[in-house]
Structure 1
Amino acid sequence: MVDRVAPAGTRGEQAVDRVHAVLRAEILDGVRPAGSRLREEEIAEAQGTSRTPVREAIRRLAGDGLAVLAPRRGAEVVAWDEEDLDELFDLRVLLEGHAAARAATSGRADTARLSELCDRMEALRRPTGDRDYAEITRLNLAFHREVHRAGGRRVLPDLVARVVEGPLVHSTLRRYSPDRLDRSFAQHRDLVAAVEAGDAEWARAVMTAHLRAAREVVRAAVPLSVPAPT
């Protein structure tokens, strides 16, 4: 049998997908903080690829709302001012509140999966400050995405994804006190209960309170308009 070699174009697309996935994860996990530079040469060397797929991956990140292409500076991880973040959270309240309400009545919600995600987040809670915030953030995002998918088949999840992930660039969960983190986990449980009960308005109210609490953490603790490191 003759081995089939993937066309060059396919290999190039796979390289772009891989680099995009790595950079996206690093941004959302806080490895690359808001305002930091995305240097093509450095990334290409780290990923063992040429600069061409890196350049395309960075363009995708800009399309995701996670990077900006700055004149004469190259690409940077996106950073917002207070007005930008307020707008993002206003949109989250509208879109995710709607998704939560629909999830309660759509019949598509996997409440067992939502409860499992709650269990896994709570298992990472620590009495000291050494919590695995990167994993909690990943599980938290998975929880919200489950709600979005239950609330809409394609349009709503796609629409809300960019709005939801934007504030994560600021590593919001790292700013939570133990009490605030416990309250956030309890709101997840309340949301699962509302969805199980089929109560759309309860689900909307829980999601709204959850997001408004998150916005206050951002306002109080996250440095805004972060200058890009040199």
Structure 2
Amino acid sequence: MAISKRAEPALLTDQVYATIHEAILNGDLPAGSRLTVRELAEQVGTSAMPVREAIRRLEEAGMVERQPHRGAVVKALTLEELVHVYDIRRLLEVEAARLGAERITAEDCDRMQAEYDLMREAIDDHRVPALLDHDEAMLAILYNAAGNPFLVQVIRNLWLQCRAYKIVGATGTLETPGDDSLWRYQQDLIAAARHNDPIGAAAVNDASLANATDRIKALLAAQPSGR
């Protein structure tokens, strides 16, 4: 009974964390949103303590920051951070694609195709969080084939940290007629994987991430807060 009682606050904090975390990932709490403990506690139906702990954990995850006179806010988007994060993604994900393409099976390629098809449906419906989820699921299948779970975990953490940038990029691209960059590279990546072509897979990922960096950089620069 004592263990169970101690676990209850932690479980509640986990639930609050998951709720706020999902709201940030889905864009319901966009960059710059203030995270007021009292308001969030009322919305999720808890006391202030689990909300404070959840916000602290979000700070540790790099998704929330403290600002003078504002308190905790969803981390703002900056061109400098965009470049740094995407440079690291290119280093890791190009290598993950190369290693994964060498070892991936036909069955896993079929799973990639299934996620790609769901991603295309989400693109057609302009469902940004869903298209990002399926894109990441497709990439994770390829990266997991590399056989290095630590590499995949590091990449997943980077995806979380740059989710707001991904939302900006995907939303802006969907609003640009004739831009096929949300699906063209993924289509080529699946083809390279099916041929167990590590050089081709690495080249596609490198080009895809370079393109994403340029697209998001242009979109941020066009915003009043971009720099």
TM-score higher than 0.5 = yes
Whole-angstrom CA distance in 2 between matches of 1:35 and 1:221: 16
Per the alignment, residue 112 of structure 1 pairs with 110
Note if 1:31 corresponds to 2:23. no
1:163 counterpart SS class: helix
Task: Kindly indicate whether the alpha-carbon contact (under 8 Å) linking 2:96 and 2:146 is maintained by their aligned counterparts in 1.
Answer: yes
TM-score by length of 1: 0.85
2:39 pairs, out of 32, 42, 46, with 42
Per the alignment, residue 21 of structure 1 pairs with 18
* Number of residue pairs aligned between Structure 1 and Structure 2: 220
Task: Kindly indicate whether the alpha-carbon contact (under 8 Å) linking 1:67 and 1:76 is maintained by their aligned counterparts in 2.
Answer: yes
Per-residue deviation, 1:153: 3.1
**Regions of 4+ moved over 3 Å:** 106-109, 223-227
Deviates further, 71-80 or 167-176? 71-80
Whole-angstrom CA distance in 2 between matches of 1:52 and 1:77: 19
1:184 counterpart SS class: coil
Name the CA shift for 1:210/1:135 in 2 (closer, same or farther; >3 Å): same
Name the CA shift for 1:18/1:198 in 2 (closer, same or farther; >3 Å): same
Name stretches of at least 5 consecutive residues in structure 1 with no aligned partner.
none
Whole-angstrom CA distance in 1 between matches of 2:37 and 2:191: 46
Task: Kindly indicate whether the alpha-carbon contact (under 8 Å) linking 1:66 and 1:169 is maintained by their aligned counterparts in 2.
Answer: no
One-letter code aligned to 1:139: H
Note if 1:133 corresponds to 2:124. no
Which structure's relative contact order is higher, taking Cα pairs within 8 Å and 6+ residues apart? 1
Note if 1:209 corresponds to 2:207. yes
RMSD: 2.4
1:124 counterpart SS class: helix
1:68 counterpart SS class: strand
Name stretches of at least 5 consecutive residues in structure 2 with no aligned partner.
none
Task: Kindly indicate whether the alpha-carbon contact (under 8 Å) linking 1:105 and 1:200 is maintained by their aligned counterparts in 2.
Answer: yes
Task: Kindly indicate whether the alpha-carbon contact (under 8 Å) linking 2:100 and 2:142 is maintained by their aligned counterparts in 1.
Answer: yes
Name the CA shift for 1:137/1:42 in 2 (closer, same or farther; >3 Å): same
Task: Kindly indicate whether the alpha-carbon contact (under 8 Å) linking 2:170 and 2:182 is maintained by their aligned counterparts in 1.
Answer: no
Task: Kindly indicate whether the alpha-carbon contact (under 8 Å) linking 1:99 and 1:152 is maintained by their aligned counterparts in 2.
Answer: no
Whole-angstrom CA distance in 2 between matches of 1:63 and 1:141: 22
One-letter code aligned to 2:50: P
Per-residue deviation, 1:106: 3.2
Task: Kindly indicate whether the alpha-carbon contact (under 8 Å) linking 1:69 and 1:76 is maintained by their aligned counterparts in 2.
Answer: yes
After superposition, the C-alpha distances for 1:132-187 in whole angstroms (9 at most, x for unaligned) are: 1222122223223333333343211221223223332132210102433x333121
TM-score by length of 2: 0.86
Whole-angstrom CA distance in 2 between matches of 1:159 and 1:113: 22
Note if 1:146 corresponds to 2:146. no
